[in-house]
A and B are shown apart, each in its own frame.
Chain A
Amino acid sequence: MSKLGILVNTDKYLEDIVGVTEAAKAVGHDVTIFMMDDGTLLAQDLCDRLSGEAQLTYCEHSASLRQVSDVEGATSGSQYQNAVMMHEADKVVVF
């Protein structure tokens, strides 16, 4: 089983992120998503759409600047979670 990391730093590609995640899970890959910058604006939508499909974490610093908080289904974190994702992932894509 391989690991896919998805860095989300814009709010433009919700459907692509969901599509890639579901396709990766369908063939047995683990998916981790880290949201920062404007990507945190997708936090609740991604949690709603990908519950159980991916491990979701977001940058608290970015989120607080955008009045995003208490996202159910995602872990509030820091750039450390991004570093862990990049370190552990076999492949990384950016949306």
Chain B
Amino acid sequence: MKILHIIKEFTETGNVDTIIEDQEAPDNEVTIFRLKENKDYAKLVDLIFASDQVYTW
């Protein structure tokens, strides 16, 4: 399963880290996109539609 976690600029991660870490299993391909550091929106859109599940934190 392809999972995308989008981390927004002002998000306090907290238990978000727990969720991401626990989903990083052999069956899952987890990608983290940090909007504070990366504004490549075309790449982000590609990732959104290439992923089975999308989280925006």
Check A-B contact in the complex, CB < 8 A. Answer: yes
Could you list which residues of chain A lie within 8 angstroms of chain B, going by C-beta atoms? 2, 4, 12-13, 16, 19-20, 22-24, 26-27, 29, 90-95
Chain B, interface residues (CB within 8 Å), range: 10 to 19
Residues of A within 8 A of B46 (CB): 27
B26-47 residues with Cβ-Cβ distance < 8 A to A are 35, 39, 41-42, 44-46
B9-57 residues at the A interface, CB under 8 angstroms:
9-10, 35, 39, 41-42, 44-46, 48-49, 51, 54, 56
CB neighbours of A22 from chain B (8 A) = 41
Most buried by A among B10, B41, B42, B51: B41
* B56: A residues at CB distance < 8 A: 93-95
Task: State the Cβ distance, B49 to closest chain A Cβ, in Å.
Answer: 6
Instruction: State in angstroms the CA–CA spacing of A19 and B35 once bound together.
Output: 11
